[in-house]
Amino acid sequence: MFDLAHAAIETARRRGASYADARVMDIRSRDLSTKNGEVGTLGEVESLGIGIRVIARGAWGFASTDRMTREGVSGCAARAVAIAHASALAKQKDVALAAEAAVVDTWQNPFVKDPFRIPVERQLDLLLAADAEMRRVKGVTLTETSMAFRRIEQFYVSTEGSRIHQVKMQSGAGIVATSFAGEEIQKRSYPNSFGGQHMLQGYELIESFDLVGHAQRTAEEAVALHSAAQCPEGTRTLLLDGSQLGLQIHESVGHPIELDRVLGMEANFAGMSFLTLDKLRTLRYGSDIVNVVADARLEHGAGLGTFGYDDEGVPARCTPIISNGLFTGYLSSRETAALVGETRSGGTVRAESWNRLPMIRMTNVSLLPGTWRSDELLADTDDGIWMETNRSWSIDDHRYHFQFSTEIAWEIKGGKRVRMLKNPSYSGITTEFWNSCDAICGREEWALWGTPNCGKGQPQQVMGTGHGAAPARFRNVRVGVAFAK
């Protein structure tokens, strides 16, 4: 594959490109699902191709093809250069890239069990067993389970001399019980909603979930929600579990720190950001205990934002985003770093597949653990609401005003959970919310949650991102607005 990639950048150089990189991706995925005790989806997909990115006449061009022959990739490279020439019709200055040393390396994330070597019948048996456990609970009207695996092999070369071979193995699974009764649909998911939990691991991740062991409780909670009290409307102390907090970080920290958004490059679709350049190292993003990093290194954890090198050949890095409450860093690419005068890229550029242009994506944007335990947090809360597992999420196009709802909540009175609440929701302004954080649980309750479905770009690309979080507490948060009459 490296030969084809080299042929591509050589063609681009011969045709006048001042810079070129080529990325061969060979992707294999397996998806399984069950519904109400029967197999739903069962399929495997493989996709191989090359994406070639060039700068010619000072402007960008990108072309991709599935024709993996020397003739095919050379033709594709020539098209990329022709596209760059067309781009130059509407440029104001030449594209510049922050410097990056050439790298020759190979990298693979560690895993114990290759999910593609586990017999599919064994995987289905596990899903069907969890499905059956959920269906044993009276009142459950729909049961769903799923598993997804993805192996991504990349061969990257650039005209600056980089040559990187990288393999990422990704696994995930989840179960959902839904109950329709009266005039309500309620559901509970485990270990997370919208496809479950996903990480850069092998089948050992799936085995660690104990899907069957959690199925009954998941189903019982879905049914119990029908007789729970409605989440009240008002201003309350809010406690979030790690999975919901992971999505809160994703939406209200991860997206606004994307430098391409800040610089207006995503204005037509994903939107811009309230984090204008003047706010760097001046804005109190959160309270003093809020520390957020963007960390793609394996030592941070095996998250969906973990890799050895990004798709510009930049080694995985850790960037402090919020340091003791102060806003300290953006997610950047080689181009955006140069635009704002940074000397190096933050190493956050990735593409969904070979046929997509690499762009700034969250790596593992994580809230660092605090010092509390969740039992201490509960005991220390006189009057509050504990919300768990995302049900819906929405945030404005500057990433400032948000509203989330969760599957379930519990009212806390006098330091104890006193009753279950249904239809929980909360809303707020990003910086007000993070400044109201007064307690974060510790490392032992911290998990690196995977968001496998982050959309951005035109044409849209779906990417997996990671978000480390432990349960945390926020004061004076508006709750219940989503269901207000």
Query: Are residues 170 and 304 in contact, defined by beta-carbon separation less than 8 angstroms?
Result: yes
Residue of 401, 402, 400, 404 whose CA lies nearest to 425: 404
Residue of 429, 426, 439 whose CA lies nearest to 474: 439
Exactly one of 18, 216, 323, 403 binds another protein (CB under 8 A); that residue is: 403
Exactly one of 100, 220, 241, 266 binds another protein (CB under 8 A); that residue is: 266
> Which stretch, 87-95, 208-216, 292-300, 436-444, contacts another protein (CB under 8 A)?
87-95
Query: Which two structure tokens, joined as six digits, stand for 131?
Result: 């499905």
For residue 288, give every residue at least 6 positions away whose Cβ sits within 8 Å of its Cβ, in sequence order, or none: 324, 325
Binding status of residue 484 toward another protein by CB under 8 A: yes
Query: Which two structure tokens, joined as six digits, stand for 177?
Result: 């019980």
Binding status of residue 14 toward another protein by CB under 8 A: no
**What's the DSSP call for residue 458?**
T
- Residues 42 to 61 in contact with another protein, rule: CB under 8 A: 42-49, 59-61
Query: Are residues 252 and 470 in contact, defined by beta-carbon separation less than 8 angstroms?
Result: no
Binding status of residue 226 toward another protein by CB under 8 A: no
Exactly one of 208, 230, 392, 476 binds another protein (CB under 8 A); that residue is: 392
Binding status of residue 227 toward another protein by CB under 8 A: no
Q: Which is nearer to another protein, 255 or 473 (CB)?
A: 255
Q: Which is nearer to another protein, 103 or 211 (CB)?
A: 211
**Residue 200 CA neighbour count, 13 Å, CB half:** 27
- Residues 105 to 134 in contact with another protein, rule: CB under 8 A: 119-121, 124, 128
Tokens 């610089």 identify what position? 263
> Which stretch, 103-111, 291-299, 340-348, 419-427, contacts another protein (CB under 8 A)?
419-427
Exactly one of 3, 14, 16, 66 binds another protein (CB under 8 A); that residue is: 66
Shortest separation between residue 396's beta carbon and another protein, angstroms: 5
What's the residue count for the chain? 485
**Contacts with another protein, 287-326, as mask; x by CB under 8 A:** ----------------------------------------
- Residues 151 to 210 in contact with another protein, rule: CB under 8 A: 178, 180, 183-185
**What's the DSSP call for residue 254?**
I
Binding status of residue 279 toward another protein by CB under 8 A: no
Query: Are residues 139 and 223 in contact, defined by beta-carbon separation less than 8 angstroms?
Result: yes
Burial of 92 (0-12, 13-18, 19+ CB in 10 A): exposed
Binding status of residue 104 toward another protein by CB under 8 A: no
Give the containing element (helix H, strand E) for 466: strand 461-469
Q: Which is nearer to another protein, 302 or 351 (CB)?
A: 351
Binding status of residue 278 toward another protein by CB under 8 A: no
Binding status of residue 381 toward another protein by CB under 8 A: no
Residue of 299, 114, 127, 271 whose CA lies nearest to 205: 114
Shortest separation between residue 255's beta carbon and another protein, angstroms: 11
